[in-house]
Amino acid sequence: ELEAKDTIDGKYEDKVIIGDATQFSSVSSDIRIIDPKSVNTISETTARRGTLLIDLTSIDTDRVGMYEVSYSVTNSNDRTTRKSSTIVVYDKPTITESSLSRIELNSVEHTEEAIINRLKEAVIVSDDDDTLYNKTTKLEVLKQNVNPNEEGIYNVDYKATDLYGEETVKTIPIQVSRTINVSVPTTIPFQVVTNLKDKTTDEFISGVMKVQNNNTSDVNVYIQSFTRQESSFTTKTRSYKNLEIVQPSEFEDWNSLSSEDTMTKMALGIYNKEGLIVDRNLQLTKESPLWLYEDISNVKLGVLNRAQNLANPYTSKLSFTSKHGKNFIGGTSRSKFNLVFRFE
């Protein structure tokens, strides 16, 4: 209770708030609110002597934070006392569904801990107070009966608590459903050019393929096929009919290959540069890639993790490596292949 008094005048009952009336609609009806621009027009008898002035002009009730409020009162002897205090503007936390509010059937271990952890991913909590002071809003699952092994819609009760102890409780429907797998063949045509000018360079096969998953389920990545379109190579002196993709074990010493073999033989590998969860049957590193061969089919490379939200897809990068001879002859290559990926 705000109170001002004087030993001679007694208790001052008249209070005036200096501030925007639209921000203080809940103020008691016996306290007048005046616009800051009209402060100088307040009569001395009604607003100066014996009136407690409460200056709230520094407060922005639309923005959380700490604000200083000043108070002043002038007695009948024209003596003024001033005082200040701190006012905190706060809000309550909000709870909204995230892009992970749908749970794929059988994707979560049927234990209390695993289910709770997954349910916390299904919502987004926010609070301006916690953001302002770099705090984490506390999220709790109050009540849930989710069975990750049974399709259905389950109502889950959440509670969010901010640093001031303000709480928001909300019920969010969580759907457990089966994902329909869709095979999406993606063809990447590329050309092998054996016209390397610098023979000391280790590789002339390079390039990075970026693969993104903006689905809320994990995606399996396969090489569906690797096929030849056309393959020939012409120099000033002769033409080579085919450039063959062979296994790296075909030659013990690739550097000693003849000009003929250099122009017609190559081992071509693909590896995980970053981001792919590799299938346990493969290493898929640059040193131990998946070596391609014609008519390869349905080889699983690994898994792309699900996206945390649709705006931030999970990204993987795949790249090439090769083994080849060094006796290159300048010319024109028409060696083209199709590498087809499948995602499901």
Classify domain 94-177 at the CATH topology level.
Immunoglobulin-like (2.60.40)
How far separated are the first and last CA of the chain, in Å rounded?
66
- Is residue 290 within 8 A of residue 301, CB to CB? The reply is yes
> What are 34-60's pLDDT values in tens digits?
666 655 545 444 455 788 888 888 888
Nearest to 95 by CA among 37, 169, 205, 164: 169
User: pTM here?
Assistant: 0.47
Residue 195's pLDDT band (cuts 50, 70, 90): very low
Nearest to 271 by CA among 320, 206, 226, 339: 320
Nearest to 296 by CA among 242, 343, 245, 250: 245
State the Cα–Cα distance between residues 273 and 262, nearest whole angstrom: 27
Which amino acid, 245? Answer: I
State the Cα–Cα distance between residues 59 and 66, nearest whole angstrom: 8
> What are 242-258's pLDDT values in tens digits?
778 899 999 999 888 88
> What are 261-279's pLDDT values in tens digits?
888 888 889 999 998 989 7
State the Cα–Cα distance between residues 49 and 71, nearest whole angstrom: 14
Which amino acid, 49? Answer: R
What is the reported pLDDT for 44? 45
> What are 129-183's pLDDT values in tens digits?
888 889 999 999 999 999 999 988 999 999 999 998 999 999 999 988 876 555 5
> What are 92-124's pLDDT values in tens digits?
899 999 878 888 888 899 999 999 999 999 999
Residue 204: pLDDT over 80: no
| Every domain of the chain and the residues it spans | 5-89, 94-177, 184-343
> What are 53-86's pLDDT values in tens digits?
888 888 887 787 888 988 888 888 888 899 999 8
State the Cα–Cα distance between residues 209 and 188, nearest whole angstrom: 9
